[in-house]
Amino acid sequence: MALATFRVSGLCCYDCQNAIKRFLGSLNGIMAVEMVDEELRIHYDGSVLEKEKLKNLVTETVNRLGYKITE
């Protein structure tokens, strides 16, 4: 299992974090999703998802939900 971390901006409440966790957690290859403040931690199966594909999926999903990934 591999770990990737991202910073998410635009979160205003616990429900925002839960929405992101719920949507990302349903994607194939993602084993666990944790959020602490604006830090998003994703545990994923590197044999199913390459890191670049994961980054694209996370960015697309977070943007669709109305938030932004920041570097």
Number of domains in the chain: 1
Report the CATH number that the domain containing residue 60 is assigned in CATH.
3.30.70.100
User: Could you report the per-residue pLDDT of 17-29, keeping only the tens digit for each?
Assistant: 999 999 999 999 9
State the DSSP code for 71.
Answer: -
Percent with pLDDT over 70 in the chain: 99
Find the domain containing 6 and state its range.
Answer: 2-70
Q: Which two tokens stand for residue 16?
A: 């925002």
Write down the pTM of the prediction: 0.87
**Among 54, 53, 32, 51, which Cα is nearest to 42's?**
32
